Amino acid sequence: MSHPTGAADARFPAHPFDPFDDDKLHEECGVFGVIGLTDAANFVALGLHALQHRGQEAGGIVAHHPDHGFNSARRFGYVRDNFTSHKVMETLPGPLAIGHVRYSTTGSKGNTAIRDVQPFFGEFAMGGAAIAHNGNIVNAEELRRELIGRGSIFQSSSDSECIIHLMARSYQKTIPERMKDALRRVEGAFSIVAMTRTKLIGVRDALGVRPLVLGRLGEGWVLSSETCALDIIGAEYVRDVEPGEMVVINGTGIESYMPFEPRKPRSCIFEHVYFSRPDSILGGRSVYETRRQIGVELAREAPVDADLVCPVPDSGTPAAIGFSQESGIPYAMGIIRNQYMGRTFIEPTEQIRNMGVRLKLNVNRALIRDKRVILVDDSVVRGTTSRKIKEMILDAGAAEVHFRIASPPTAWPCFYGVDTPEREKLLASTMSEEEMRAHLHVDSLRFISLDGLYRAVGEAKGRNTHAPQYCDACFTGDYPVRPTDMAAKGFEFCKEPAE
């Protein structure tokens, strides 16, 4: 489906009765790139399909063929609805391609224009280049004002376009060197997949907040946000791109550079809790096993007498399994998810809108009746979904409802590529754990401790308060990169970033 530049896709809004739209931390974005394979764009489409959980708003692919040059396709909606068409894919020939799936974290949220959809392309003196970005540039507004003042003309509302303009103004002789120049001006969190006519480029910021992995498929190379996308095309995982590393891949092999001042890495801990797919390997650890271990830690920290442990599907499932195994309380599917409830459902009437969460989740009444139920979920953001689920469980005849949450209380917004509500809309920013329990009207509510979460990701001694091992700003307010644009707007930070 084509859309005029500047027009949002009316068929693909944030769905008004999707209970997870306003009560979850939304995925960032996903990036994928391939070099050295015939019809590389087909592999990119498959990779983006595996990364769909990281962004469902829009997607794009840019490919290069030695005879046909650069070609691109950008579409609203799911990968499966756009990039499985032979008519579309035949417009993207060549052995080199990159792609991006988007959930908007900056720019026109919920009103995305086609011009905001990545990858972005630029024509330079030494040839064209395309770039796809996962993360957030926290000084983008400052850079944009500077660049516009110097004559740059922006085509999108995305912070990622700043990188293209900074590259255009660099005096370096090659595109990789121009990219290094540009990224040294950029603050924030980013994993980047880019391409020239002959090279595939991958970069992670100095802290390594957002993930990026390197894979091999035959004579070709692959860059991906997660390992699960390597699996779908049969590629072999080689290694993570290191924090602060730039890899440049061409027909002869890989060159590695470290263009940034070295810093102690602090990757995003919430990738382990929620964002990454459970079948991915993140930082050498199984995401599924980490989430199961979170459940184990929760059972140790917050035991409760009950009859059943039930996940809030699907993100609470591994933690619920771990809680059940550690506590000895039976695991059960007390809530069933309607797998066919998509965003392109019928236009909602007021009656349907009031059904809310019931359109997506249904209680297994025969199982729940007269039982003391432990519900395990990945997070509580606004608390609206938690209240609705609790009401459904009680309506089904449960005797007691106990919430166990597989992350610490989310009390601070993320500025590194995750769409979070404003701080005052985060339940944990204004309430204690007991106040949240009373607000949700449940028999008990417990979150995993910060140290418990760190133990679950393999840090046996918990969090190092003097030098935290991960970015956990959404829980602590300890921002490892000070968000320049937000500071200029008067955002009140709780502390200086840890060194």
Check residue 423 and report its DSSP letter.
Answer: G
Question: Is residue 202 within 8 Å of 241, Cβ to Cβ?
Answer: yes
Q: Given CA atoms 423, 426, 430, 433 in this order, what sign does their dihedral have?
A: negative
Task: Give the ranges where 338-400 is alpha helix by DSSP (H).
Answer: 350-355, 365-368, 384-395
Cα angle: 389, vertex 392, 394; to 5 degrees: 110
The residue assigned the tokens 């300890």 is 478
Residue partners of 461: CB distance under 8 A and separation at least 6: none
Q: Are strands 188-195 and 96-102 parallel, antiparallel or unpaired?
A: unpaired
Per-residue buried b or exposed e for 247-279, using 16+ beta carbons within 10 Å of the residue's own CB = bbbbeeeeeebebbeeeebbbbbbbbbbbbbbe
Q: Is the dihedral of CA 441, 316, 479, 188 positive or negative?
A: negative
Nearest to 110 by CA among 211, 26, 224: 26
* CA neighbor of 308 nearest in space, from 359, 357, 363, 356: 363
Q: b/e for 424-447, b at 16 or more Cβ within 10 A?
A: eebbbbebeeeebbebbebbbbbb
Beta bridge partners of 30: 101
Q: How far is CA 224 from CA 118, 208, 241, 270, in A?
A: 15, 14, 10, 18
- 17-27: string of b/e by CB count within 10 Å (b at 16+)? bbbeeebbbbb
Tokens 């999108």 belong to residue: 156
Work out the end-to-end distance of the chain between its first and last CA atoms, rounded to an integer number of angstroms.
48
**Catalytic residue check, 228:** no
Assess contact for 440 and 387: CB atoms under 8 A.
yes
Q: Which two tokens stand for residue 164?
A: 């293209």
Pairing of strands 120-124, 127-137: antiparallel
Q: Which position among 29, 162, 268, 414 bears the catalytic label?
A: 29
The Cα 133–Cα 414 span in angstroms is 17
66: which residues sit within 8 A by CB, 6+ positions away?
A: 94, 197
Strand partners, 305: none
Please give the positions annotated as active site: 29
